[in-house]
Amino acid sequence: MKITLKDGSEKLYDNAMSVIDIAKDISEGLARMACAGEINGKVVDLRTVVSEDCQLNILTFNDEAGKAAYRHTTSHVLAEAVKRLYPNAKLAIGPSIDTGFYYDFDIESFDRAALDELEKEMKKIIKEGAELERFTLPREEAMKFMEDRGEPYKVELIRDLPEDSVISFYRQGEFVDLCAGPHLMSTKGIKAIKLISSSGAYWRGSEKNKMLTRVYGTAFTKNADLDEYLAHLEDIKKRDHNKLGREMELFTTVDVIGQGLPLIMPNGVKIIQTLQRWIEDEEEKRGYIRTKTPLLAKSDLYKISGHWDHYKDGMFVLGDEDKDKEVFALRPMTCPFQYYVYKASQKSYRDLPLRYGETSTLFRNEDSGEMHGLTRVRQFTISEGHLIVRPDQMDEEFKGCLDLARYCLKTLGLEDDVTYRLSKWDPTNKEKYIGTEEIWEETQGRIRNVLTELNIPFTEADGEAAFYGPKVDIQAKNVYGKEDTMITIQWDAIIAEQFDMYYIDQNGDKVRPYIIHRTSMGCYERTLAWLIEKYAGLFPTWLCPEQVRVLPISEKYHDYAKKIESELKDNGIRSSVDERAEKIGYKIREARLDRVPYLLVIGQKEEEEGLVSVRSRYLGDEGQKPLDTFIDDICKEIRTKEIKKIEVEQ
């Protein structure tokens, strides 16, 4: 048989051989590094026997699939360690994930000391170096096998498989686990491990099921790589908006108010207010006109739009359809409200495009398990807009929406942190959507052409479209690697008919417009969370709740400090004076902890000569400057929304 390797070279063998034996024939070093194989594009176990011509790639830890096999093997080592130390624990599932692996157990939660003990036992198992042996059983025998071992969760998993299934297991020493693989050849191939944390997780992700204990861990082939990752985790803890945002008093949550209903505190409000004013001004420059519409409406409105049929479970409904004459719902979107602004008067083709913008407060009944800080909430405010356009204007207006979104990202310093996704309908589940297949294929194709023309790299995803049209989703990941949609731009060729929207064309005929649903910057709460994590709370000066703090070295200079503060505020600079009877070194440290970008230290010389001694987070001690010079410099920095590089250690 002929084996074609990744580099195009070929190997000829007279007999069938396993992947690991082929790897050994290529190089003993490669075999030692091998984690899995890939035959004609399909990931396979190293024990897989190759019996015919194929393309073969030996996967190592440097390959994503190889890394997954390595870490999945480590999850089995964790499970064995748990069974050794806690024989009554029941095994659930233990997959690899992007950051390592986890395993769910039916057992009480583990504290840090228990995790450390498990880690020691894992290292002992690794040192023993047991070979991993794969074997299979028919479904009925597999169920009995796991019943005899007292593993009800494994039995449930097997029972859900077809009756004619052949079930695979892996054995390492005395430990056996239900698993499809692939796995390393032995546990001794694992080099560097760490158990990260323990938390609760519902069996099969359903809150109707029992809460299990999930243990997260990670594994690398080198201790240096593990150390680097652990340092990264420490940095994540410093940047986590859910922790840092509370420490900085940007927001808080209260149980009696409810999950997903954050209280934005004065410092956080100042940042959001700054963002909102900037966005509204920028949209006005780009031809948007503003609306203000109600926070709730009768169910009749949502029935016309289709949200009642397609999105009702995600809405907060006020009233009972079976009893009440009128049923209302808090709005999850603004679009149908703005349609009636459009319909208030007849429009000509000359009136289009019409660009409506609104800073909209919206409500969505998110699942309680999805709530997280500011990124997943039930009430939020969004830079929402709807463009009513002629079909011939659609491409250019869509480009304009993309341009606005990209401008916002660039100004905030976030343009390199996002990816673009063309979110399409799912043609195998047409009942989720309205409109014909022809409309969907045409509109998806036109978005694809726009993205290609603008040289924007993008991926495509089936089933992620809105029920009325495809969209571009601009995605970003938080510090933990979870991806969220930050900005969305949707193409709608359908809804206008449902609302009987039209314009009069040059021939005097009624024509349906197209609609673009878009956000310019997205949800303000989620953007604030993003900025907290991006900058670890050290926001660009123009966004800082407090931009300058004046620090008099003694009470004698309070009047001069107040004069400076007054001039700063007259120039629109957010500032304060620290009049406390504390030493100047203490005041400086406190201001740095509060993440104020500029400190103005003043004493006798500064007062006599009209100077300020400037300390900044960017350059450290910048020396003395005339107050007017400092004001000119910082006003320019704020006006241009400059993102300055921090060149000194904090």
Please enumerate in sequence order all residues whose Cβ is within 8 A of that of 265, keeping only pairs 6 or more positions apart, or say none: 249, 250, 251, 252
Three-state secondary structure call for residue 60: coil
**pLDDT tens per residue, range 222-265:** 999 999 999 999 888 889 999 999 999 999 999 999 989 999 99
Q: 6: which DSSP letter?
A: T
Beta bridge partners of 578: none
As given in the structure block, the two tokens for residue 148 are: 């005899």
Whether residue 420 contacts residue 470, with contact meaning beta carbons closer than 8 Å, is answered with no
Q: Which long-range contacts (CB under 8 A, 24 or more apart) does 228-236 make?
A: 230/194, 233/196, 236/479, 236/480
If one counts every other C-beta atom within 10 angstroms of the C-beta of residue 293, the result is 17
Q: State the burial class of residue 392 (Cβ atoms within 10 Å of its Cβ: 0-12, 13-18, 19+).
A: exposed
Q: Is 183 annotated as a binding residue?
A: no
What pLDDT is recorded for position 650?
A: 57
Three-state secondary structure call for residue 136: strand
C-alpha span between 453 and 193 (Å, rounded): 46
Radius of gyration of the chain (CA): 30
Phi-psi region of 377 (alpha: psi -120 to 50; beta: other; left: phi over 0): beta
Whether residue 393 contacts residue 352, with contact meaning beta carbons closer than 8 Å, is answered with yes
pTM across the whole model: 0.81
Beta bridge partners of 549: 576, 599
Beta bridge partners of 577: 550
C-alpha span between 80 and 173 (Å, rounded): 10
What pLDDT is recorded for position 6?
A: 86
Block mean pLDDT (10 aa), the chain, length 650: 88 91 92 94 92 92 95 97 96 94 95 96 96 94 95 95 92 94 93 94 88 96 95 90 94 92 96 97 97 95 87 90 91 94 97 97 84 89 96 96 97 96 92 88 95 96 90 92 91 92 96 96 94 95 98 95 97 96 94 96 94 95 96 97 85
Q: In which element (H, E) is residue 139 found?
A: helix 139-148
Q: State the burial class of residue 206 (Cβ atoms within 10 Å of its Cβ: 0-12, 13-18, 19+).
A: exposed
Task: Give the number of residues written for the chain.
Answer: 650
In order of their start, the domains of the chain are 2-60 (3.10.20.30), 65-224 (3.30.980.10), 255-295+331-535 (3.30.930.10), 296-330 (no CATH), 541-640 (3.40.50.800)
Whether residue 173 contacts residue 130, with contact meaning beta carbons closer than 8 Å, is answered with yes
Q: Is 335 annotated as a binding residue?
A: yes
C-alpha span between 540 and 91 (Å, rounded): 48
Whose tokens are 């390595």? That residue is 70
- State which amino acid sits at residue 67: K
Nearest to 544 by CA among 506, 499, 597: 597
Q: How much of the chain exceeds pLDDT 90, in percent?
A: 84
Q: Is 517 annotated as a binding residue?
A: yes
Is the N-terminal amide bond of 353 cis, ω within 30° of 0? yes
Nearest to 577 by CA among 594, 593, 558: 558
